[in-house]
Amino acid sequence: MFVQFAPEVYGPCVVFENGKKTLYVEVLRAIYRLLQAALLWYNKFREDLEGQGFKFNPCGPCVVNRVVKSAQHTFVFHVDDLKSSHKDPKVNDDFSKWLEQTCETRESQNNRGKVHEYLGMKLDFSVKGKLKVDMHDYVKEMLE
């Protein structure tokens, strides 16, 4: 499949073993039972978030909301890219600390201000009441 996709890249790497074309690759992370592990993690994470009062969006399984201090707190996640939004920065700080403890992760990177990056998108909230989404850098990087 790799050779069919990009013969100029992978073709020279093919060797013959016992008369069969073979392509060796180095796997940087364990791939066995990967889907099951991801599902187990998601179910546990979902339970933890619901325990914090979040309600999952029925149309987006990685979007949750709750009300804190009379305002909506939205949290979106995809693999290891996370975004927490609330008008009170302390709510985001407290949630970040909870995430670090619950998920036993390193200290998270907190972004403040009007422009944020999430899943290859630049989200620009500079104009009140509007959101500008820019993916030019992401597309350029993919093409390179």
Query: Residues of the chain with pLDDT > 70: what percent?
Result: 91
pTM, two decimal places: 0.64
**DSSP code, position 144:** -
**38 or 66, greater pLDDT:** 66
pLDDT of residue 110: 65
Q: Is the pLDDT of residue 26 over 70?
A: yes
Inter-CA distances, 24 with 12, 20, 95, 99, 129, Å = 12, 12, 43, 38, 52
**120 or 30, greater pLDDT:** 120
For strands 81-85 and 71-78, give the pairing.
Answer: antiparallel
**64 or 3, greater pLDDT:** 64
**Among 40-44, 68-72, 92-96, the least confident range:** 40-44
Cα–Cα distance measured from residue 5 to residue 143, given in angstroms and rounded to the nearest whole number: 16
pLDDT of residue 131: 92
At 86-144, the pLDDT tens digits run 999 999 999 999 998 888 665 556 677 888 888 888 999 999 999 999 999 989 988 88
Q: Is the pLDDT of residue 78 over 80?
A: yes
